[in-house]
Amino acid sequence: MSDTYELFQKGREQLRSGMAAQATVSLEKAKRREPRSRSIREALGIAYFRLSRWEEAETEFRALLELSPADEWAHHALGRALVNQGRREEATPHFKLARSLRPRTDSP
């Protein structure tokens, strides 16, 4: 198992245990090794969000969207991070995109 994967798993476990601050340490190290990992960036964004570190959460969610522009969850998360910074107008298009990308469950 790679060190990067171990750091990622440790960070996820810390998040699950409610230790978001500790998770950022492991996840930042993992991100330095694998900056294009969507899983690492998502977990790190969640950790920052839980710590009310809105600008850092925004950075991670924007990175997710660069890697995957049609990621419904990332658009919604970015919108929430922007709202928490008082940037509702900037957040609105992301909420709209998230809604439009949400899988349909309509039955024929």
- Crossing angle of helices 54-67 and 38-50, rounded to 10°: 160
**What's the pLDDT score for residue 105?**
67
Per-residue pLDDT tens listing for the chain (108 residues): 589 999 999 999 999 999 999 999 999 999 999 999 999 999 999 999 999 999 999 999 999 999 999 999 999 999 999 999 999 999 999 999 999 998 766 555
pTM of the model: 0.90
What range defines the domain where residue 60 resides? 3-101
Establish if 69 belongs to a structural domain. Answer: yes
Q: Is residue 38 part of a domain?
A: yes
Residue 108 lies in a domain: no
> Is the residue at 93 inside a domain?
yes
Indicate whether 107 belongs to any domain: no
> Domain tally for the chain?
1
> Does the residue 47 lie in any domain?
yes
Residue 106 confidence (pLDDT): 59
Is 106 within the bounds of a domain?
no
Q: Give pLDDT, residue 103.
A: 75
| CATH code of the domain covering residue 15 | 1.25.40.10
CB-facing half-sphere around the CA of 57: CA atoms within 13 A: 23
Q: Does any domain span residue 46?
A: yes
Closest listed residue to residue 56, CA positions, set 67, 65, 40, 44: 44
